[in-house]
Chain A
Amino acid sequence: MLNNKARLFGALVVSCCVSAGLQAQDCHQALRGYIFDAESKTPLAYASIFVKSLGRGAITDEHGYYSITDLCDSSEYVLELRHIECAHETHRVRLKENQELNFELRHNAVLHEVLITEKAVAPLPTQAESTVQQVDLAAAKGLGLGETLRKLPGVSLLNSGANVSKPVIQGLHSNRIAIVSDGVTLQSQQWGNDHAPEIDPFTADKITVVKGAAGVRYGVGAMGGAVILEPAALRTLPGLNGWVSVGGYSNGAGGVVSGAMDWRPARGNLAFRLQGTAKRSGNLRAPDYWLGNTAALELDFSALAGWKSAHWDHTISVSQYNQDYGILRSAHTGSLEDLRAAIAADTPRNNVNQFSYLLDRPMQRVRHSVLKYRSVYRINDVWKLRGQYSFQYNQRKEYDRGRNGLVSSGNAQISFQLWSNTLDLALEHLPIRHWEGGIGVQAMQQLNYVSRGGFIPDYLGWAGSVWMLERWRRYPMPLEFDIGLRYDYRWNHITTTGNGNNNLDKRLWFGNVSGVAGVLYHVAPKVQVKLNTGYAWRPPAVNELYARGVHQGAGTYEQGNAALQSEKAWNTNLSIDWDLPWLTTNLTLYRNQIQGFIYLNQPKDSIVTTVRGPYPAYFYQQDQVVIRGIDGNFSVKLGRHLSLESQVSLLRGYRLAKTSNQESAVHDWLPLMPADRYQYGIKWTFQEGEKAAQTPSFVRISGTSVLRQIRIPDAGLTKPAPAKYTVLTLDAGHTFNLGKHPLELGFSVQNLLNTRYRDYLNFFRFYADELGVNVGVRAKWRFGSTL
């Protein structure tokens, strides 16, 4: 009796648990992904994928894509993959929610081992972003980071001559955007308009620009967006492979060589990569004259090692970026009178109008070193613990002109040094009841040391952050959303070594919350609408607080404002992605309202009498501003080979009237906002379909038209905004197999018609024209088996 009761009770418990288990198990999951050819990496059409236990499966479409619906969550399935040209393979997979699995099949291979390339596909962000197209990335890498980004809608460049370009995302730049390379946010002297990011684009396999407030994901530096560079993954199978890329450019008689080698020994779990880039160019040329002293020299390397086991994934990397570059001799002005004379002149004054590889003063020497260690521990199928430590040392030396005694010592006038230690810890999880995301903490320590005369003070800073980011999606529901929160705290001790800031000894702290929320709606299989709104902030930078002195390059006297408060931005963007076979459209509308936007302002006729004579005096101040605009990207296929491409970037940035809260009051436009830009091109592709995307052979002619910036501050500009211009670019690419390995060839002509023009966002528009025609050729050869 008792026995029976116990048995009955036991049965009840079991059945209860079983039913609970059944309830929790979701059998409306889909398995999606691509099947590739393991050697050529091209998608395999008409490959079959079969779920043995269910007796059903799918056939890949012409893009190699498959999808099997109505599978159960957390169940194990055996999949059989077949293709007419390949050996069949069997894979055992345990399905997780919303998983995409990509497989690779090998030609005629004898299968000693089962290969499974499981890729946890990152969910689509709800935030507007643009990824640099592979063809554009290949074509522009040799020209620097700026050139690789300038084709993206909503991205423009802030230049100080041709050698210094800073990305501008939807009107914001420098301290307001983050540049993240392989998970490390670049820490350098971003405040300076003439300080370009210290990044070698050859280290990246993919470059994405995130637009709008990205503070939750990338920290306080990402108030206006982020540039994300991702390297290629390390080898997963034993062997050796790599690539060598060479390029030559007519303008400046420049050359670039870059190469990388990946190796994985036959035994063990280690994989290695060595990469390096060397680059040199001489004086660049505007259509009518040489730009004296614009030579540049660059030498970069990186090394990466990874060790992977069932639970651990360790990566350690070191990299160094070294660049010496000349600053246009004509841009060196000693006084306001010099500056006025330079502005009035049609051709550069004091120009060294000849070609040379020599670097003379004024010049800058930059070195940036990064050491990074990352470790990921897979706790189980769902949870992952990620830790990352990075050390960065940024060194910038500015060599100015001066008395011979000074110059002959070979020393710089000014040096900046910045040490940064960053520690990240994150606990991440794969979908749990359709929620995927993580929580994390970050700590950073920074020490900035500036030599005498350095315009900004020294500081020691500590920063701490906690964040959480979660995303919900339930396939095949058309709605996805994400939400994030972050708190950042920054503490700074600011001191000085004597630059008009004697006896400065301040302790400051700033803290604030950031947040983000977004929705993604799949209107139709290839149509998505994304709405994202974010709140981000940044504390005032040291130069904005305490700069005091003549800013030589700009010909201004600048004075910081110690009373500045944190800048807070509320950014909303709406994007529509529409992907039809004949039409691809991405359209982003954005509005960024910034409370306490910090900028340099010149009260009317304010002049300071400096040691070098009278200079216009600029003061840092803050105001409520609005930046809004439209970024668009359209591509239309006309027939099988011909396509039209077009990009539009329109932006309006203005101060809200101080006296009233009404936006309808007369706008005072912000200085230095990108002018309206239209890009359009026609492209002929020699192959069709997916093959064209994998090994492109194409010819393209494109134009960029930038209108004159008519929306300028009421107070006027030191030099009127330049006229509108149109420049044409021709580029072509072809890939063929050299022996067993692909060889990519490229040809490009920038500024095809050798048009004379100046750009509003180039500080050197005061002195000289932009570059003239530039013919470039490049080749990239891959070797080894790319697996």
Chain B
Amino acid sequence: MLLIAVSATLVVGCKKDAATVEEKITKIEVHLTGINGSTFNEEFSAEDPDADGVFNTIASIDIPMNTVFNVHVHVYDGTTALDSEIEEESNDHLFVYQVTGGNLVVGDLNLDAAGKPFGQDSKWTSAAASTGSVRIKLIHEPTDKGNTVDPGGSVDFDVTFPVKIQ
């Protein structure tokens, strides 16, 4: 009788319940398109293919001097783009940019549905040759959306790309 009970539960005990919806950001792609006559069009990405939460590769953003770029940041979970979700909830998100060292200015953050900074699209302007870095953060549920430096909230991603202006 014991053995029957054991074997019965051994069989029962194997149903896998996969009703979970864990989202992991595994790739951030910065797409720079030169304007005002520049034909520059390149994507630079930071990737975590094994999804352990640590970037395996972060590309160096190598861009020409004295150029203006339209920049869009794509966010992926594996091969699934999360852009549309983030855009839909633009009121609850803010992309924060912080440049260190290089002669680069980030501005013109696009606005959310409520007219406050959102920043998935921005305009980058490079000057003289230099090296430095740009730190990009995606903030979820910022407490102060008007503050594009320290808006509070929680961090969805925080990545620092090396920048080389040549």
Residues in chain A within 8 A of chain B (CB atoms) = 332-335, 337-338, 350, 371, 373, 387, 389, 391, 393, 395, 397, 401-406, 409, 411-415, 417, 419, 421, 423, 445, 447, 449, 451-454, 498-502, 548-550, 557, 608-614
- By beta carbon, the residue of chain B nearest A337 is B155
- Bound complex: CA A451 to CA B158 (Å): 25
- Bound complex: CA A745 to CA B131 (Å): 75
Given contacts A391-B5, A401-B154, 16 further A-B contacts (CB under 8 A): A334-B154, A334-B156, A338-B154, A371-B9, A405-B88, A406-B21, A413-B20, A413-B22, A413-B23, A498-B51, A500-B50, A500-B53, A501-B52, A502-B50, A549-B53, A612-B157
A-B contact pairs, 23 of them (CB 8 A): A334-B153, A337-B155, A350-B152, A373-B2, A389-B2, A402-B21, A402-B23, A403-B92, A404-B92, A409-B21, A415-B17, A447-B13, A449-B16, A499-B51, A548-B52, A549-B52, A549-B53, A611-B26, A611-B48, A611-B159, A612-B53, A612-B157, A613-B137
- List B residues 1-52 near A (Cβ within 8 Å): 2, 5-6, 9-10, 13-14, 16-26, 48, 50-52
* CB atoms of A335 and B158 under 8 A apart: yes
Known interface pairs A421-B10, A502-B50. Does A612 touch B22 (Cβ–Cβ under 8 Å)?
Answer: no
Q: Does chain A have a CB within 8 A of B140?
A: yes
Q: Give the residues in chain A near B54, CB-CB below 8 Å.
A: 500, 557, 608-611
Q: Does chain A have a CB within 8 A of B166?
A: no
Interface of B is mostly: loop
Q: Give the residues in chain B near A350, CB-CB below 8 Å.
A: 143, 152
**Chain A nearest CB, measured from B136 CB (Å):** 11
Q: How many residues of B contact A (CB 8 A)?
A: 44
| Max count, chain A CB within 10 A of own CB: residue among B25, B89, B156 | B156
- Bound complex: CA A338 to CA B140 (Å): 12
- Bound complex: CA A612 to CA B52 (Å): 11
| Max count, chain B CB within 10 A of own CB: residue among A334, A405, A409, A419 | A334
- Bound complex: CA A393 to CA B92 (Å): 39
Q: Give the residues in chain A near B9, CB-CB below 8 Å.
A: 371, 391, 419, 421
Q: Select A405's contact among B24, B50, B85, B155, beta carbons within 8 Å.
A: B85
Q: Select B2's contact among A387, A395, A412, A502, beta carbons within 8 Å.
A: A387
- Bound complex: CA A452 to CA B126 (Å): 41
**Chain B nearest CB, measured from A558 CB (Å):** 10
Q: Give the residues in chain A near B86, CB-CB below 8 Å.
A: 403
* CB atoms of A334 and B2 under 8 A apart: no
**Chain B nearest CB, measured from A429 CB (Å):** 22
- Bound complex: CA A502 to CA B152 (Å): 34
Q: Give the residues in chain A near B137, CB-CB below 8 Å.
A: 613
* CB atoms of B2 and A423 under 8 A apart: yes
* CB atoms of B17 and A417 under 8 A apart: yes
Q: Give the residues in chain B near A332, CB-CB below 8 Å.
A: 154
**Chain B nearest CB, measured from A330 CB (Å):** 11
Known interface pairs A404-B92, A611-B48. Does A414 touch B20 (Cβ–Cβ under 8 Å)?
Answer: yes
Q: Select B23's contact among A406, A423, A445, A613, beta carbons within 8 Å.
A: A406
- Bound complex: CA A413 to CA B160 (Å): 27
Q: Give the residues in chain B near A412, CB-CB below 8 Å.
A: 19-21
Q: Give the residues in chain A near B51, CB-CB below 8 Å.
A: 453, 498-500
Q: Give the residues in chain A near B153, CB-CB below 8 Å.
A: 334
Q: Give the residues in chain B near A423, CB-CB below 8 Å.
A: 2, 6
* CB atoms of A411 and B156 under 8 A apart: no
